[in-house]
Structure 1
Amino acid sequence: MHLATPGRRDAPVPPDDAGVSFVMPVLNEERYLRRAVASTLAQEVPGPVELVLALGPSTDASRAIAREIAAADARVVLVDNPAADIPVGLNLAIRASRYPTIVRVDAHSELVPGYTRRALATLARTRAANVGGVMRADGRSPFQRAVARAYNSRVGLGGGAYHGGTEEGEAESAYLGVFRRTVLEEVGAFDESIRRGEDWELNLRIRRAGYRVWFDPTLSVVYWPRESWPRLVRQFRATGAWRGELVRRYGRRNSLRFFAPPVLVVAAVASVVVGVLQATGVVRGRRSGLVHAPVTAYAALVGAVALGPGGGRRWRDRAWTAAVLPSMHVPWGAGFLWAIARGARDTVDTSRLDGRNTPLP
């Protein structure tokens, strides 16, 4: 059944056996690369497939692993991405690829069996230009599992459809994405001036061009979050900064949920300042205590999430969850406010720049 919306543009539907190109930027991913590649090449789709790896200047064994994989499988193509930026690497991989459907894969992720076949069916059925599904965060260490629980919580990342939505339909953006090449070429692929949030900006241009971006909850991808506290904080500060930059550029087109973390940071700073003034006797009166209400409410919300069914099974898990949530929200909000004031400029996600990790079992 064709689900196109009247008055909207339909993306072309190539023949079933026309082929699929998977594209994956890689930087310091020795712990995850083999599994990410294996889950990608295991996808069963009609027609030929290829996987293009855009290799950044890794300081771990990622490049050696990629060369080993490419030598063993002719479907794997390597391109250099000396700039290391994700959108640059994606564009390099797309330009080096051949087939009419582009599937973005993250080296920190694993495609579940049947993902690509179902995505192709959804693209054909809806005539969308891009389709995405649900990010299923997972973890191995207690810390990484706590981050995964936060990712999968509506409180953790603000309730976007791809963090647990269940209703199929048109969407603002898509996690990773399965694209029609002709539409990518028409709208100009990824904006290389945007280092984070490049997917949201690309999907905005796709929608502006009249095409549909589609969310299909039957699609899912396993995502492995950052493994340490410093990496998590650096990642979310950079993500928040680039969201602030996108707000500077596109204003109201950004969802209101993106403003919750910066509001939290402003409320926390106000609470601390007033608290100091109260302690020193400069400020008195019951009304001044109202400034603490937002932070108190936030602390209660974090506690409710940690103690609820999504907080983990043991008390240690719940404590990790309670600690991780503000470790995501506060850096994100601080980065956002900094970028609103000054722009993201050359902000990079430094959590990706250090390698040398112990391989996973």
Structure 2
Amino acid sequence: MAEQKVSIVLPVRNEAKTIQKVLDGLLRQEYEDIEIIVIDGMSTDETRNIVQRYVGRFPEKVKLIENEKVYTPSGLNIGIRNSSGEYVMIASGHASYSKNYIKECVKAIESSECDIAGGVVEVLPRSESKKALAIAEILKHPFGIGGARYKLGAVEKTYVDTVAYGVYKREVFEKVGLFNENLIRNQDIEFNLRLKGSGYRIMLIPQARAYYFARDKYKELWKNNFSNGFWVTYSKKFAENPYRLRHLIPLFFVVYLITLFAFILFFDDFLKVIFSIPLILYFVLNILSSFGISLNHKDFSLFFYALIGFLTLHISYGIGSLFGIFKFLKDKK
């Protein structure tokens, strides 16, 4: 049976440091019938020039399209509209993929096991510093990311709520629609919830692996997760069902911390102790998780980097979600 074409939709902006590695990896896929559609969001670095060289070398494989709206969801939609494959893969400009990634995902779809398939994401440090290693570890730890199975890993194929770099049947977009371009971030969460609501099956394929290089500074971690948290709640303005309850847990934690501060100021000692129990439990879990990371790597100095990293991850996301609610309520007036 002849291969069905897979269109790889790759939205990018200022990815000069990684785009060459990404394109090389995609061109080395064991699955041969592919087209790579790079949608550039008005990059100000060398991204466009690098991609143009690949277009010149592989004109049948690589295309470059401009995304004047800049943001990812519009880039995704431009790519999907300009694709010609029976299947569409959503790729990233700062991740690489095992050679069998597309082959294994298409195999699962064509065997009627699922409608969307994606691989396990291995989170790797972006640099060799201990801080970078700790940040990468917390971004694949259950205490850090909750139930994101595609980062936690799997031994067998399993049905999930979402995958990071999915391969989709084209009919999915024809029936469910495209990405919501009002959502600057977290458009994938809202889209996957639409898929699940329409009865489509999403499968995690452990034989397929993607490799994501995590941010290596707390400032970058804070900025990224603040934005993610903001768009989780603010997206309610643009979509009926943009998140699940688990996405709001960091928000509940931040609200709890604010309320705890009020208890400390205005209530007696007994109530202060009672109300402090969740915070104590949080730090116990943080300490145990951070110690586990340091133990796995046999480097106790990672304990402190992980401890701070977990706090940064959770609080930045929760504060972002709180700001998203304020913005949503302000816009409704």
TM-score (ref. length: structure 1) = 0.83
Q: Which residue of 2 aligns with 1:342?
A: 327
Q: Which residue of 1 aligns with 2:192?
A: 203
Q: Distance in 1 between matches of 2:84 and 2:318?
A: 40
Q: Distance in 1 between matches of 2:218 and 2:269?
A: 39
Q: Which residue of 1 aligns with 2:38?
A: 53
8 Å contact from structure 2 (residues 13, 42) kept in 1: yes
Task: After TM superposition, give the deviation of residue 263 of structure 1 in Å.
Answer: 1.5
Match status 1:38 vs 2:27: no
Match status 1:332 vs 2:321: no
Q: Distance in 2 between matches of 1:214 and 1:147?
A: 27
Which of 137, 144, 148 pairs up with 2:136?
148
Task: After TM superposition, give the deviation of residue 307 of structure 1 in Å.
Answer: 0.5
| Secondary structure in structure 1 of the residue aligned to 2:38 | strand
Q: Which residue of 2 aligns with 1:129?
A: 115
Q: Distance in 1 between matches of 2:263 and 2:94?
A: 42
RCO higher in structure (CA 8 A, sep ≥6) = 1
Q: Distance in 2 between matches of 1:55 and 1:144?
A: 28
Q: Distance in 2 between matches of 1:344 and 1:30?
A: 38
8 Å contact from structure 2 (residues 121, 153) kept in 1: no
Mapping 1:166-315, distance limit 5 Å = 166=154, 167-246=156-235, 249-250=239-240, 254-275=243-264, 277=265, 283-309=267-293, 312-315=297-300
Q: Distance in 2 between matches of 1:51 and 1:345?
A: 41
Which of 77, 100, 105 pairs up with 1:114?
100
Q: Distance in 2 between matches of 1:70 and 1:183?
A: 28
Q: Distance in 2 between matches of 1:283 and 1:212?
A: 50
Mapping 1:12-27, distance limit 5 Å = 16-27=2-13
Letter of the structure 1 residue corresponding to residue 49 of structure 2:
A
Letter of the structure 2 residue corresponding to residue 154 of structure 1:
P
Letter of the structure 1 residue corresponding to residue 24 of structure 2:
A
Q: Distance in 2 between matches of 1:257 and 1:54?
A: 32
Q: Distance in 2 between matches of 1:98 and 1:127?
A: 23
Percent identity for Structure 1 against Structure 2: 25
Q: Distance in 1 between matches of 2:52 and 2:302?
A: 39
Which of 58, 62, 67 pairs up with 2:47?
62
Q: Indicate how the Cα distance of structure 1 residues 247 and 289 shifts in structure 2: closer, same or farther if over 3 A, else same.
A: farther
Report Cα offsets for 1:175-210 as digits up to 9, x if no partner.
Answer: 121011122122212111112221222222223333
| Secondary structure in structure 1 of the residue aligned to 2:39 | strand
Report Cα offsets for 1:20-79 as digits up to 9, x if no partner.
Answer: 111111112122111111111111114x21111110122322222222222222211000
Q: Which runs of 5+ in 2 are unaligned?
A: none
Which of 115, 119, 124 pairs up with 1:138?
124
Report Cα offsets for 1:83-128 as digits up to 9, x if no partner.
Answer: 2211110111122221111111111100112111111111112352
| Secondary structure in structure 1 of the residue aligned to 2:139 | helix
8 Å contact from structure 2 (residues 9, 80) kept in 1: yes
Q: Which residue of 2 aligns with 1:7?
A: none
| Secondary structure in structure 2 of the residue aligned to 1:152 | coil
Q: Indicate how the Cα distance of structure 1 residues 247 and 146 shifts in structure 2: closer, same or farther if over 3 A, else same.
A: farther
Letter of the structure 1 residue corresponding to residue 95 of structure 2:
S
| Secondary structure in structure 2 of the residue aligned to 1:335 | helix
Q: Indicate how the Cα distance of structure 1 residues 148 and 255 shifts in structure 2: closer, same or farther if over 3 A, else same.
A: same
Report Cα offsets for 1:199-257 as digits up to 9, x if no partner.
Answer: 22222222333322222232221011223222211110111112113466445x84332
Q: Distance in 1 between matches of 2:48 and 2:300?
A: 40
8 Å contact from structure 1 (residues 197, 239) kept in 2: yes
Which of 77, 81, 101 pairs up with 2:67?
81
Q: Distance in 2 between matches of 1:161 and 1:337?
A: 26
Report Cα offsets for 1:140-173 as digits up to 9, x if no partner.
Answer: 2323322210111011111221121425332222
Which of 99, 110, 116 pairs up with 2:85?
99
Letter of the structure 1 residue corresponding to residue 308 of structure 2:
A
Task: After TM superposition, give the deviation of residue 321 of structure 1 in Å.
Answer: 1.2
Q: Distance in 1 between matches of 2:167 and 2:328?
A: 30
